[in-house]
């Protein structure tokens, strides 16, 4: 992770730190877990999401800051906070966040689940039958796969995988060989489940679970016969997981990445989590071994990896404790006509997850089978290990169609899945390219070329989210299906740039990073400022996941000072300070956190009544504008433009149930309904999902 140096052109007081703003987002997610209006098992899920988010935060963001400090860097970023000070503030914020998280788990959520018959058995309350079953499970399922390591000169400290569950054991006595190192490490293999469900008998409730850590704590003595166990303490290490590939040295990106991925599990340690009962001696020993300081130690009053509880809601068959199920709807045009006929007749807008992603899958399935389709081109960033879309691409290539897939190998944490798909696609005869080295391909593009009576016609899908059928069920995103000739030409040009060589061309409709996207965004903001200075109405609304790019922020400040009315819906980190007199008093920033992950990126510019609307794959960040291949595309159909405004912007601006308003100091205040409650996601479900819900 690179940390951009501060640009002296910008005033430090104008910016909020990215990492601290990101931790504010985690607080908003944690508030969902605390909200008693959220179904109980979903509250547990939100609690786990916070832990998962913090894992990635340490693996990427904190590891980058630590590396910056290690190399002697002292330059502050645009917010003016030096790296060492930022690291200290992050440590304090995360310790406070974790204290609230575990208090919520132990004092609220687990007792509430127990009242509903979902019980997590603590060791101290096992009855005789439960103890017997657990002991049998330990001997039958656990002992055969454990390898306890006594620490002595012949047995050095074992390599500890990133985020794995481990136990430090304090021992007394001598073993069969007369050894007494006093310490051992027990690593829990990843093949062992971290949460185990007991059978109905001896279970004491409809759903009775026990943690693997509790089982191992109870019977760890059996691993060290004849010795006395003084203490057994869970610990977990988070490591630097950012990948580094040297552009000057790499010859084969896929081969180079395979080597890097093998080392990801053993990067430099950045965080040590231990159970709160861990002795000071053991904690100090672990910190020393992993070369960490006291600020890197996080004591947890409970299991050290709450992410492992993420599966529990799926195991518990209690619909009353979860969000109501729904069936995504379909646009009317696709209910009445075959997919190619429907797209040829009109542009079609899909709003996920309220509307189904199935039309995109159907389009690719039809293309694979249709003899008139001669070529398929697609960008893939994240798609998952089991993707029906990729299977259709493989099948199309096997049928002899010209299939080109731009597969982003550097999609963080999806590299292994993408390497696997690259191999399968090439074996099927598809052309697989990995984009442009140094620029991640994050644009969401699918283009089909079909031979029809009047010649070749391009059918295009443009999206704000990944081609990942699973995440489309809980990420909010827009997708546009069109055979607009000029848009098709633009998409073809983008593919030509990525797969071939040549200078960037001027595109008719698309804004493309790293060339025209940021300049066009800044110019569109500037035009609204000029309109406002001329005494006419200036209006900007944008919905994005992150707002960090300083030139764009300064353009928004300038527009605000010119009198432009600006609403920003920013889910995650936001470096802009809203509501500052004389600077941003016409800017409001809100964040909406709810059942679905807000993911679509939308730009609206009033433009003297032209009402220009763009959808995009890009957030307003330096990496998206300058180090990625991204696109923004216009919504040209007036009917669809009104839909985007209504569903993607206005619904979120009137939300008073899941919305948080950002304050000038970077803190957030949750909106409270004064009269009728309005929840954007619930309203969209009611309007767009299939009426016969299942």
Report the C-alpha gap between 435 and 379 in whole angstroms. 9
Burial class (CB in 10 A: 0-12, 13-18, 19+), 228: exposed
Q: Rounding to the nearest 10 degrees, give the CA dihedral for residues 145, 149, 150, 156.
A: 170
pLDDT category at 501 given cuts 50, 70, 90 is confident
Q: Which of 471, 504, 537 is the last residue of a domain?
A: 504
Give the side-chain half-sphere CA count within 13 A for 278: 29
Q: What is the pLDDT of residues 382-415, one digit of tens each?
A: 777 778 999 999 999 999 999 999 988 755 556 6
* 694 domain-assigned: no
What is the residue whose two structure tokens read 């909010």?
A: 476
- Domain span including residue 218: 12-321
Average pLDDT of span 513-517:
97
β 149-150/228-239 pair status? unpaired
From 14, 217, 352, 442, the catalytic residue: 442
Q: How is residue 604 written in tokens?
A: 């609206």
The candidate with the shortest Cα–Cα distance to 618, out of 551, 518, 522, is: 518
From residue 504, how far is each of 494, 497, 498, 509, 515 by CA, in Å? 9, 7, 10, 14, 8
Domain count, the chain: 3
Please give the helix or strand (H or E) that residue 374 lies within, else none. Answer: strand 373-380
- φ/ψ of residue 444, rounded to 5: -110, 100
Q: Which of 267, 295, 321 is the last residue of a domain?
A: 321
315, 207 Cβ separation under 8 angstroms: yes
Report the C-alpha gap between 160 and 147 in whole angstroms. 13
Q: How is residue 491 written in tokens?
A: 């998409």
**CATH at 192:** 3.30.1840.10
* 114 domain-assigned: yes
Q: What is the pLDDT of residues 43-75, one digit of tens each?
A: 999 999 999 999 999 999 999 999 888 887 776
Q: Are residues 213 and 252 in the same domain?
A: yes
**pTM of this prediction?**
0.92
Q: How is residue 46 written in tokens?
A: 């939100």
Q: Are residues 530 and 612 in the same domain?
A: yes
Predicted confidence at residue 248, as pLDDT, reads 44
Burial class (CB in 10 A: 0-12, 13-18, 19+), 561: middle
Report the C-alpha gap between 443 and 455 in whole angstroms. 28
Q: Are residues 113 and 185 in the same domain?
A: yes
What is residue 52's DSSP assignment? H
Predicted confidence at residue 177, as pLDDT, reads 60
Average pLDDT of span 169-179:
73
* 368 domain-assigned: yes
Q: Are residues 485 and 551 in the same domain?
A: no
* 693 domain-assigned: no
Burial 328-355 (b: 16+ CB within 10 A, else e): bbbbebbeeeebbebbeebbbbbbbbbb
Q: What is the pLDDT of residues 106-137, one digit of tens each?
A: 999 999 999 999 999 998 889 999 999 999 99
Average pLDDT, the chain: 90
pLDDT category at 265 given cuts 50, 70, 90 is low
Task: Give the three-class secondary structure for 225.
Answer: coil
Lowest mean pLDDT: which of 314-328, 414-428, 464-478, 623-637?
Answer: 414-428
Q: What angle do CA 153, 158, 164 make, to 5 degrees?
A: 160
Predicted confidence at residue 204, as pLDDT, reads 77
Q: What is the pLDDT of residues 585-640, one digit of tens each?
A: 999 999 999 999 999 999 999 999 999 999 999 999 999 999 999 999 999 999 99
Q: Are residues 488 and 550 in the same domain?
A: no
Q: Are residues 452 and 582 in the same domain?
A: no
Report the C-alpha gap between 38 and 682 in whole angstroms. 13
* 1 domain-assigned: no
217 catalytically annotated: no
Q: Are residues 62 and 97 in the same domain?
A: yes
pLDDT category at 249 given cuts 50, 70, 90 is very low
Q: Are residues 187 and 125 in the same domain?
A: yes
Please give the helix or strand (H or E) that residue 150 lies within, else none. Answer: strand 149-150
- Percent of the chain residues past pLDDT 70, beyond the cut: 92
Q: Are residues 518 and 415 in the same domain?
A: no
Q: Are residues 179 and 58 in the same domain?
A: yes
Q: Which of 504, 530, 550 is the last residue of a domain?
A: 504
- Pick the more confident residue, 150 or 121: 121
Q: Are residues 306 and 423 in the same domain?
A: no
**DSSP strand E in 78-133: where?**
118-120
List CB contacts of 23: < 8 A, sequence separation 6 or more. Answer: 57, 90, 93, 94, 97
* 4 domain-assigned: no
pLDDT category at 257 given cuts 50, 70, 90 is very low
Angle between helices 40-56 and 83-104 (to 10 degrees): 160
**CATH at 556:** 3.30.870.10
Q: Is the pLDDT confidence value at 167 over 90?
A: yes
* 326 domain-assigned: no
Predicted confidence at residue 413, as pLDDT, reads 54
Q: Are residues 19 and 141 in the same domain?
A: yes
Burial class (CB in 10 A: 0-12, 13-18, 19+), 412: middle
- Percent of the chain residues past pLDDT 90, beyond the cut: 74
């Amino acid at each position: 992770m690179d940390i951009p140096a501060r640009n002296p052109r910008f005033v430090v007081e104008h910016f909020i730190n990215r990492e601290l703003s990101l931790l504010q987002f985690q607080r908003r997610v944690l508030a969902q877990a605390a909200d008693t209006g959220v179904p109980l098992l979903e509250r547990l899920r939100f609690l786990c999401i916070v832990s998962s988010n913090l894992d990635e935060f340490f693996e990427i963001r904190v590891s980058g800051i630590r590396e910056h400090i290690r190399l002697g860097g002292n330059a502050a970023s645009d917010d003016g906070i030096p790296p060492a000070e930022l690291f200290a503030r992050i440590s304090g914020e995360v310790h406070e966040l974790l204290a609230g998280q575990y208090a919520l788990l132990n004092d609220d959520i687990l007792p509430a689940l127990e009242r509903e018959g979902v019980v997590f058995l603590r060791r101290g309350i096992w009855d005789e039958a439960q103890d017997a079953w657990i002991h049998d499970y330990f001997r039958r399922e656990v002992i055969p796969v454990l390898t306890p390591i006594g620490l002595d000169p012949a047995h050095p400290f074992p390599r500890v995988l990133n985020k794995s569950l481990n136990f430090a054991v304090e021992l007394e006595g001598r073993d069969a060989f007369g050894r007494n190192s006093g310490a051992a490490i027990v690593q829990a293999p990843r093949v062992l489940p971290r949460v185990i469900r007991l059978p109905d008998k001896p279970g004491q409730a409809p759903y009775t679970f026990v943690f693997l850590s509790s089982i191992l704590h109870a019977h760890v003595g059996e691993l060290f016969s004849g010795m006395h166990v003084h203490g057994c303490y869970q610990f977990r290490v988070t490591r630097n997981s950012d990948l580094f590939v040297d552009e000057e040295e790499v010859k084969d990106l896929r081969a180079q990445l395979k080597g890097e991925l093998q080392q990801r599990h053993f990067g430099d340690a950045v965080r040590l989590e231990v159970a709160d009962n861990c002795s000071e001696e053991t904690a100090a020993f672990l910190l020393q071994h992993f070369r960490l300081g006291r600020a890197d130690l996080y004591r947890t009053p409970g299991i050290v990896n709450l992410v492992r509880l993420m599966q529990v809601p799926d195991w518990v068959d209690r619909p009353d404790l979860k969000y109501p199920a729904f069936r995504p709807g379909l646009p009317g045009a696709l209910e009445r006509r075959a997919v190619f006929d429907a797209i040829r007749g009109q542009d079609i807008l899909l709003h996920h997850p309220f509307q189904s992603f199935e039309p995109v899958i159907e389009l690719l399935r039809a293309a694979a089978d249709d003899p008139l389709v001669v070529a398929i081109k697609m960008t893939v960033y994240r798609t998952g290990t089991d993707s029906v879309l990729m299977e259709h691409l493989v099948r199309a290539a096997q049928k002899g169609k010209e299939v080109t897939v731009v597969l982003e190998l550097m999609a963080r944490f999806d590299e292994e899945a993408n390497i696997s798909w690259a191999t399968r696609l090439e074996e099927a005869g598809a052309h697989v390219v990995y984009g442009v080295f140094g620029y991640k391909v994050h644009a969401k593009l699918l283009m089909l070329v079909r031979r029809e009576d009047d010649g070749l016609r391009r059918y295009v899908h443009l999206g704000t989210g990944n081609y990942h059928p699973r995440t489309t069920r809980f990420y909010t995103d827009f997708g546009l299906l069109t055979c607009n000739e000029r848009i098709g030409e633009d998409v073809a040009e983008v593919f030509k740039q990525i797969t071939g060589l040549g200078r960037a061309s001027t595109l008719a409709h698309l804004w493309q990073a790293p060339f025209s996207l940021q300049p066009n965004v800044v110019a569109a903001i500037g035009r609204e400022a000029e309109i406002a200075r001329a005494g006419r109405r200036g209006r900007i609304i944008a919905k994005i996941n992150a707002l960090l790019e300083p030139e764009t922020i300064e353009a928004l400040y300038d527009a605000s000072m010119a009198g432009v009315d600006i609403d920003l819906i920013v889910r995650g980190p936001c470096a802009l300070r809203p509501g500052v007199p004389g600077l941003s008093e016409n800017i409001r920033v809100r964040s909406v956190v709810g059942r679905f992950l807000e993911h679509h990126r939308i730009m609206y510019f009033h433009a003297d009544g032209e009402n220009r609307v763009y959808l995009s794959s890009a957030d307003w960040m330096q990496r998206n504008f300058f180090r990625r291949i991204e696109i923004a595309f216009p919504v040209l159909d007036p009917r669809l433009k009104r839909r985007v405004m209504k569903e993607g912007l206005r619904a979120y601006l009137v939300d008073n149930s899941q919305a948080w308003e950002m304050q000038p100091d970077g803190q957030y205040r949750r909106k409270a309904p004064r009269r009728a409650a309005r929840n954007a996601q619930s309203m969209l479900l009611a309007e767009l999902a299939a009426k016969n819900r299942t």
